[in-house]
Amino acid sequence: MTKVPSMNLPGISADDSLMLLRAATELSFSSILVTDAQHRILYANPAFCATTGYSPDELEGQNPRILQGPLTDKSVIEKLRNDLDTTGHFTGSTFNYRKDGRPYLVEWTISPVMDESGKPRFYISVQKDITQLQAEQSTGNLFIKAIDAAYDGIFITTADGVIEFANQGFEIITGYRPAEVVGLKPSVLKSGEHDDAFYKDLWGHLTSGVPFRAMVVNRHKHGHKIHCQQTITPVKNALGEISHYISIIKDLSDRVFEELKLREQASHDGLTGLLNRRAGEIELDLSLLKAQENSSPFCILMADIDDFKAVNDTFGHNRGDDVIECVAGVLEKEIRKTDKAVRWGGEEFIVLLPFCGLEKATVIAESIRIALASQVFDEIGQVTLSIGVTESRNEDTPTSILDRVDQLLYDSKRGGKNRVTAA
């Protein structure tokens, strides 16, 4: 256990040692909080006040629980209490709330300072705001995938105009593979169609921090001209300085529209026209990201055709395909325009319902179940669906929410089929 330390540093007087230790605390980039044994705040350093928005006077005498809110993980707080009661030390992370109500993800440690009798006299907490780090780690790859899958050409340059990134859409439009243009300047696309006044206007916008939009004639790798709708947007760093430019180009030629049709076919199921599993996985990733960023949950339903193997075995795969197509039609008719229906595999379907609570999602699921059950197929008769429905949670990953809805679907099967189970 930590005892109250001596403030004497080797070769330095006690007063100077105390002054240096206090200066180190005041200048620290990490948030530091000191409480007494009853967890009343005695001291908060400037970094802590800057992070939370509270002044030292507002914090003094308060319990740190004033930083807790709806997203604060209760199990983490319970672990904190248990750890301090047993080992005296705690390390963890959860969401705290600033004075203005905005949440932030914090990682922190708590250590006791013991008195001569071995009892806690103070607690020292060292904290770090890891919101941005967590966002970068969890969404970086997702953003790259989403940008790379975009139909429009996207490329990013430094402030000096050197290309650092180009997506697959850029290759479709210009003919240049991303690896060919990274390190070059956008002038590689210059067609000679625009005069000096055009480029003066372009740079006048950009250096002022204003996006530039225009119809631009670029030159394809193979020499022909491509008429593009182009937007260039300056990106500023934390100091307000332009650090990058993001360019988006849209080729309006018939050739590109044919390319887009191929891309559309690649993301949709050939039998039903619904999104295929690969596209559905991307949509699920994006739904989770939006829900976490906007603190707005969504719902997911998973549906499976009851006794479908018997239909295939008895009536053949063609009749089975008829049933699958019919289910897809029911889904598209009963869901909202903003919802995403996915053929997840075989006779299994998923629907993503953004900005939708569990109660409303359950109503939609019931309408789907009833609509299919009310139909009678020649020779086959009635075909039904078992459906599971769940609402997203703050801590959800694609795997966790899929496992949960899959279990609810299984509960519907086990409960007699042709039913909806929601939780």
Question: Known catalytic residue: 347?
Answer: yes
Give me the chain's average pLDDT, please: 86
Q: Is 106 helix (H, G, I), strand (E, B) or coil?
A: strand
Give 145's pLDDT tier (boundaries 50, 70, 90): low
- CA–CA dist 197, 203 (Å, integer): 10
Say yes or no: do domains 134-263 and 268-422 share a fold.
no
Q: d(Cα 403, Cα 405) in Å, to the nearest integer?
A: 6
Give CA–CA dist 276/74, Å, rounded: 38
**How many angstroms separate the CA atoms of 281 and 147, rounded?**
15
Q: Which two tokens stand for residue 58?
A: 């507002």
φ, ψ of residue 244 to 5 degrees: the values are -150, 165
* Rounded Cα gap, residues 362 and 299, in angstroms: 9
Look at residue 58 in the predicted model and tell me its pLDDT: 94
**pLDDT the model gives residue 116:** 87
- Domain boundaries defined on the chain: 14-129, 134-263, 268-422
pLDDT tens-digit readout, 90-123: 998 888 888 988 888 888 999 999 988 888 999 9
Q: Which fold has domain 134-263?
A: Beta-Lactamase (3.30.450)
Pairing of strands 299-305, 348-353: antiparallel
For residues 99 and 54, the answer to whether their CB atoms sit within 8 Å is yes
pTM confidence score:
0.42
For 14-129, which CATH class? alpha beta
Give the pLDDT confidence score for residue 7 in this predicted structure: 47
Q: pLDDT at residue 416 above 90?
A: yes
What's the farthest any 2 CA atoms get from each other in the chain? 97
Residue 306, both tokens:
């009851």
Beta bridge partners of 109: 91, 126
User: Which architecture characterizes domain 268-422 according to CATH?
Assistant: 2-Layer Sandwich (3.30)
| pLDDT for the residue 325 | 94
For tokens 């948030």, the residue is: 31
In this structure, what are the phi and psi dihedrals at residue 235, rounded to the nearest 5 degrees?
-120, 130
58, 107, 193, 347: which is the annotated catalytic residue?
347
Strand pairing partners for 94? Answer: 106
Angstrom distance (rounded) from CA 48 to CA 56: 9
Burial track 41-80 (b if 16+ CB lie within 10 A, e otherwise): bebbbebbbebbebeeeebeeeebeebbeebbeeeeeeeb
For residues 64 and 236, the model is more confident at 64
Quick check: 224 pLDDT over 80? yes
Is there a contact between 286 and 142 (Cβ–Cβ < 8 Å)?
A: yes
pLDDT cut 90: percent of the chain above it:
48
The pLDDT tens digits for 355-393 are: 899 999 999 999 999 999 999 898 899 999 999 999 999
Q: Give the tens place of pLDDT for each residue, 43-67.
A: 999 999 999 999 999 999 999 999 9
The pLDDT assigned to 44 comes to 93
**Tens-place pLDDT, residues 297-353:** 899 999 999 999 999 889 998 999 999 999 999 999 999 888 999 999 899 999 999
Both tokens assigned to 422:
């929601």
Give dist(CA 39, CA 129) in Å, integer: 21
For residue 339, the one-letter residue type is D
